[in-house]
Amino acid sequence: MKYYIYPLRFLTPIHFGNVATGGSLEKVTISYSSDILFSAICNELAHQPTMLMKLKEALESQTLKLSALFPYYKNRSDWELYLPKPIFNVQREIAITDYERTKELATKLKKIKKTAYVRTSVLSNGESKKIDLAALESAEGRQFGTTILTERVNKRHDVSEPYFVGGYRFVANAGLYTVVGFEDEELKLLFDQLIELLGLSGIGGKRSSGYGKFELVREAMEVIISKSSSKDIKALYRLLEASEALNASTYMAISAIAPQKLELDIVRTGYYQLIKRSGFVQSPEVSYAIKRNSCYLLAEGSCFGKPLKGRLITMNIDGIPHAIYRNGIGLFVGVNYD
């Protein structure tokens, strides 16, 4: 399987909500999971059921693999690629000497815990201490953009009611990228067209207000080792290669996963976080949104002793004449995390 990265340059602010923080309009995140990305792509194919079925079958047969969106920063000719900080149980002891020193170390550990991403070149090294330091540098150093707050007015009632919408605006050299694996070239050509169409429509919330529109920075870059590749691209290749060859002590998910029943024993011995998916479904076939049942997935960054295949969740909802798909197929990188 050949892997490509698709770097997205956002032309407008994004509005990615977070159910974990209450889902209010003011709060935003830059996290965009693989299951949500696949749903957005399916929405683009709503009027082309044959192509939609082709994409669904490719995902289920694992001739297509799709990661979540992760941040990147282009520093001149060098690509800084970030992946989730591993969800792993590492004992970190604080040597108690004096009050000020202990307070300083405790503050650093809190910052490390809150940091969501780490560079691929550090992750491929696999040393927990270096990953912690890189996470700390990310928290204190690299900024991918700024949070903005826009005032709006609700005029649907007799009395106008002001409200605020949160957004995130990336800096000029930053954005989000996804890792996509293909078994055949024809499938890649289809995906290239879909990602361009998706950029015109936008992703995330408040798209009717112009949020979430993007373009590809350049043609999708094949993740290969070459002299011209940045160290993060080389590291990403090594991480993917280690997973494919089953040559790692730990396998970290870079996609959201819905494990199969036979894989639950692997899940029990791993380290993971659950993410809740709930809300409403919109369809071109109906004129209103319909509430759907909630489901739970394993979050990106979850770590296991073996990679999970996962499964595609199919939802049949009363009032919607077609099935709703939620991507829970696994994509992993191999990390020798001590």
Residue 46 has pLDDT above 60, yes or no: yes
- Residue pLDDT, tens place only, 271-296: 999 988 876 666 666 656 666 777 88
Instruction: Calculate the CA 128 to chain-centre distance.
Output: 22
Characterize the bridge pairing of strands 250-253 and 274-281: unpaired
**With contact defined as beta carbons under 8 Å apart, do 63 and 182 qualify?**
yes
pLDDT for res 218: 76
Instruction: Calculate the CA 13 to chain-centre distance.
Output: 17
- The span from the CA of 70 to the CA of 8, in Å, is 10
Model pTM?
Answer: 0.87
Mention every residue, 6+ apart, whose C-beta is less than 8 A from residue 118: 82, 83, 84, 85, 131, 134, 135, 138
- Residue pLDDT, tens place only, 211-238: 889 998 876 677 766 655 788 898 899 9
pLDDT for res 185: 86
**With contact defined as beta carbons under 8 Å apart, do 191 and 170 qualify?**
no
pLDDT for res 334: 92
- Residue pLDDT, tens place only, 127-176: 655 666 666 555 455 788 888 888 777 767 677 778 778 889 999 889 99
Buried/exposed 32-64: b ≥16 CB within 10 Å, e otherwise:
bbbbbbbbbbbebbeeeeeebebbbebbeeeeb
pLDDT for res 165: 82
Mention every residue, 6+ apart, whose C-beta is less than 8 A from residue 76: none
